[in-house]
């Protein structure tokens, strides 16, 4: 069975966007971005809520100019664009008219049973992005792993990366500190039988 991983870049106080809706403080440097690329490279399908999809669809055409000459983009950025285009995407939204990226399908509602079936049938792992959708998946017991990139900034409010109404027991399986002060944390979600 494939694993479902929820990954987020957060502030030290646990927000993915600040109270003004900005996340410019979360832009990864080259070292962190290269690590992220390797982390998401094995993912076969990404699950996104509407807002996260609207942010991420930038990558669909981020490197288009490479066919016509130098884009000025770093190899790390170009690599991520290629990884993005190579994966399947499912977007959960009741308000989007349609999707504008390849290998993407639109689902009007999040169905935990359908995601369980997807995990069971998938040959590659899955990733989930966006705190609202991830919160629903966490509540449904679908998330196997939490991955957090903690930035050395406190923003004081905004959108939290985790739902406030669940308890999870976790096992820390990996950490790394980057030169920029960003800290990578990877936790395995413990099942009731593993506690």
Q: What is the pLDDT of residue 70?
A: 53
Neighbours of 122 (CB within 10 A): 17
d(CA 41, CA 186): 16
* pTM for the structure as a whole: 0.92
Q: What is the pLDDT of residue 83?
A: 95
- What is the mean pLDDT of the segment spanning 81-86? 93
Q: What is the pLDDT of residue 195?
A: 43
| Mean pLDDT over each residue of the chain, to the nearest integer | 93
- For the segment 27-82, what is each residue's pLDDT rounded down to a tens digit? 999 999 999 999 999 999 999 999 999 999 998 887 665 444 455 778 999 999 99
Q: What is the pLDDT of residue 176?
A: 98
More confident residue, 192 or 35: 35
d(CA 28, CA 31): 8
- For the segment 103-154, what is each residue's pLDDT rounded down to a tens digit? 999 999 999 999 999 999 999 999 999 999 999 999 999 999 999 999 999 9
CATH of 4-194, one of 3.60.21.10, 3.40.50.300, 3.40.50.150, 3.40.430.10: 3.40.430.10
Q: What is the pLDDT of residue 62?
A: 77
């Amino acid at each position: 069975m494939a694993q479902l991983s929820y990954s987020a870049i957060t502030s030290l106080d646990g927000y993915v966007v600040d109270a003004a809706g900005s996340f410019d403080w979360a832009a990864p440097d080259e070292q962190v971005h290269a690590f992220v690329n390797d982390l998401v490279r094995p993912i076969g399908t990404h699950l996104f809520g509407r807002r996260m999809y609207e942010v991420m669809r930038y990558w669909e055409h981020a490197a288009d100019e490479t066919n016509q000459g130098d884009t000025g983009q770093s190899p790390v950025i170009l690599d991520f664009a290629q990884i993005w285009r190579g994966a399947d995407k499912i977007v959960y939204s009741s308000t989007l008219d349609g999707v504008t990226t390849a290998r993407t399908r639109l689902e009007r509602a999040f169905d935990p049973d359908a995601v369980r079936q997807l995990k069971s049938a998938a040959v590659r792992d899955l990733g989930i992005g966006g705190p609202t959708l991830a919160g629903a998946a966490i509540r449904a017991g679908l998330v196997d792993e939490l991955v957090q990139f903690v930035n050395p900034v406190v923003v004081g409010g905004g959108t939290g990366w985790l739902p406030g109404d669940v308890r999870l027991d976790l096992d820390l399986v990996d950490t790394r500190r980057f030169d920029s002060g960003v800290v990578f944390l990877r936790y395995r979600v413990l099942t009731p039988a593993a506690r």
